[in-house]
Amino acid sequence: MTTRPMPGEVPDSVLADVVLERLTTLYPAAGNPFRAQEMVAYMKGVAPFLGVRTPERRTLSRAVLDGTPRPDEDDCAAIALRCFALPEREYHYFAVDYLRRHVRRCSSAFLPVARRLVTTVSWWDTVDHLAAHVVGGLVAADPALAPEMDAWIDDEDLWVARTALLHQLRFKGDTDADRLFDHCLRRAGHPDFFIRKAIGWSLREYARTAPAEVRAFVAAHGPRLSPLSVREALKNLAPPEDPPNRRARMGT
């Protein structure tokens, strides 16, 4: 039976014990100090790295998980929280990958755990995957969580707000356009690059499904949006065609 940990509490999990023991044995053994320095520089010093490249890390992750059972919600929380408590970034990547794979085994009660992860050593490399695949997966499975995103969009933590903007990235035709547009407008004046970029990215992704709606939204509210947001939103949209009579007058 799944229990709900108190804030700051990590659930007990035998599976997490096994996974963390294997993980903290195999990952460091494959580390490369020189590569780690390059990774730290690329990620602006957000966290130390072991120096394990992504393809090798994924191979090691399969070895870590070999023969382990499917997790329940407590297992997911324990593995993710214990990984994020470790300093090196590769452990955080493992946790994000694990949750992406098993988010359907988590209930709406997992959302506070996801928020803790979003606000722990926050940077785009973990937050964006948590937003689109974990928080988005939880909201898609339980639409009653959607109003929580209305609170997150106004949060003082820019990474929580960015998560609210990006949580519908994979919704396609199921996107709540009214909520998406409202969220974009509510943070349209935010000065930070990561919020402005997220506004444009969320609109650009929805434009794959509803190009006319996104074009109309930008046309109506462009002056409120930053040039970066507008540029990103319209990046893959062709300019609207001229009316036939105008083309005729232009001799085309």
Task: Evaluate whether 13 touches 78 at the Cβ level (below 8 Å).
Answer: yes
Q: What is the pLDDT of residue 240?
A: 63
Q: How far is CA 138 from CA 76, 102, 123, 181, 237, in A?
A: 13, 11, 21, 20, 30
Look up the pTM and report it.
0.91
Residue 180: count of CB within 10 angstroms of its CB: 25
- Digits of tens for pLDDT over the chain (252 positions)? 344 444 568 999 999 999 999 999 999 999 999 999 999 999 999 999 999 999 999 999 999 999 999 999 999 999 999 999 999 999 999 999 999 999 999 999 999 999 999 999 999 999 999 999 999 999 999 999 999 999 999 999 999 999 999 999 999 999 999 999 999 999 999 999 999 999 999 999 999 999 999 999 999 999 999 999 999 999 999 776 555 454 444 443
Determine the Cα–Cα distance for residues 59 and 69; give it in Å rounded to an integer.
Answer: 18
Q: What is the pLDDT of residue 239?
A: 73
Task: Evaluate whether 69 touches 17 at the Cβ level (below 8 Å).
Answer: no
The string of pLDDT tens digits covering residues 5-20 is: 445 689 999 999 999 9
Stated length of the chain = 252
